[in-house]
Amino acid sequence: MADDYLRRTAITRPILTTEQQDLLDATINEWQDACNISSRIGWQTGETRKTYLQDLAYDEVLEETRLGSQHAILATHQAAAALSGVEEIKELDEKYKTSCPEFTATTVKYDTRTMTLFDDETVSLTTVDDRIRCDLALPDDEDGYQHQYLNDEDWELTESTLSRRDGDYYLHLGFRKPKPEKQVEQQGDDEDRTVLGVDLGIVNIATTSTAYFASGREVRHRHREFERIRSSLQQTGTQSAHRTIQQMSGRESRYVRDVLHRVANDIIEEALNHDCEYIAFENLTHIRDRVPPVKEFHQWAHRQLVDLVEYKSETEGICVEYVDPENTSRRCPECGHTSKGNRVTQAEFECERCDTTANADYVGAKNIGWRYVRRGLQSSRRTGDSQLALKSGTVTPNRGFVSSD
């Protein structure tokens, strides 16, 4: 059954006293025992349905652990989910050897009955003894991503997870809200629809038809430095060098993900500011053919960026679509002349026929958006105009350029 909710996770840290840490450690240990008791009972009886396993294991969990009633229920449900996963594996491959799921992770599940979030940025957590209440380590900047869930009443707190890792504690707060109706579903076929075109490149990670440029200079510089140092360390070949490479790789991945998150947010903001119902990208299956193997890093970054935009656009009811990028960097968006000679350099476009000059990535973004606009015109059900969003207005096949001023 389709999930009618958008689901997001906000990660933060509870600020704990030593006594509170001890209580949470004890709760995690009891949770592991409860899940393993439930898992064993489900494995022996062949029961994977959570409500039925709850009936079978609940009393024993309460007798054998110090958990309260709600945590005992959650533990039986956790075990049922793990057992169901094993059953799915067996269905896919009957010869695959399976065993009773064992719970060893230092985590514990919470729900709205066992955890409460307060407006003063504190949290109350059920333990094996009393409830504890502590502050949450949140960014001082109100733009920190956690605040968009904590401060928005549309987001409802759901099941969350507390984990202990290397002596630190983390709360993975689960939120949900009903999926918005797609903007295009709210409109009739006689409504105008606006498209934001996005070109993915190397010099600029992304460029939009509204003239937003996300420079890739710093990302490229860091990646080249990482590759240079990694090559040197690989020649060293020591265990210490290998550990250093892994640490550096992790730092680079986190940096790139942060950059891509910010670029994805900017693209969504461009779409919202220009009232776009669609965001059009080039079909990424073509990137491997157009970019040499040495640029595999950029292929990965582009794929990650598109995934992030898809993920974030869902919240706003914006549709993400794809077009064939063939000749989008060679076609003049003004006169339509297509030629390899139009692309003067990596960054420069100059039409051989009408002498139009522009940034090459910007030309690509306009052509990608324009290609999707024209695709919409081919629908026999459409009576309204699709239009391409530009920096200072829109352009449609029927009415031409329309200024937003």
Residues 193 and 128 in one domain: no
Last residue of a domain, one of 178, 202, 231: 178
Which residue reads 């029961």 in tokens? Answer: 47
| Owner of token pair 């140092």 | 229
Range of the domain at 12: 5-178
Answer for the pair 371, 323: CB distance below 8 angstroms, yes or no.
yes
Question: What whole-number distance in Å separates Cα of residue 110 and Cα of residue 108?
Answer: 7
- Please report, as a single letter, which amino acid is at residue 320: V
pTM metric for this prediction: 0.62
Q: In this structure, are 57 and 131 located in the same domain? A: yes
Q: What are the tokens at 169?
A: 């504690």
Same domain membership, residue 299 and residue 197: yes
Tell me: do 310 and 352 sit in the same domain: yes
Residues 201 and 238 in one domain: yes
| Co-location of 31 and 76 in the same domain | yes
- Considering the domain architecture, whether residues 171 and 217 belong to the same structural domain is answered as no
Cβ atoms of 390 and 366 closer than 8 Å? yes
Residue 174 sits in the same domain as residue 188: no
Q: Give the angle 97-102-108 at the CA atoms, nearest 5°.
A: 145
- Supply the pLDDT for residue 1: 41
- Are 140 and 20 within one domain? yes
Q: How far is CA 21 from the centre of its chain?
A: 31
**Which of the listed residues 178, 200, 215 is the one where a domain comes to its end?**
178
Counted domains in the chain:
2
pLDDT score at 404: 53
| 282 shares a domain with 166 | no
Compute the radius of gyration of the chain from its Cα atoms: 27
Helices (H), 120-238: 147-150, 183-186, 217-236
Distances (CA, A) of 152 to 178, 227, 300, 326: 13, 42, 33, 42
CA 168 to chain centre: 25
Tell me, yes or no, whether 333 and 399 share the same domain.
yes
pLDDT at 376: 64
Domain boundary among 160, 178, 196: 178
Give the model's pLDDT for residue 217: 87
Dihedral sign for Cα 66, 71, 76, 81, please: negative
Q: Which residues of the chain have pLDDT under 50?
A: 1-2, 184, 187-190, 288-294, 379-383, 401, 403
Residues 239 and 161 in one domain: no
The pLDDT score that the predictor gives to residue 394 is 67
The SS3 call for residue 154 is coil
Q: At what angle do helices 296-316 and 239-273 cross, to 10 degrees?
A: 40
The answer to whether the CB of 133 falls within 8 A of the CB of 93 is no
pLDDT at 57: 97
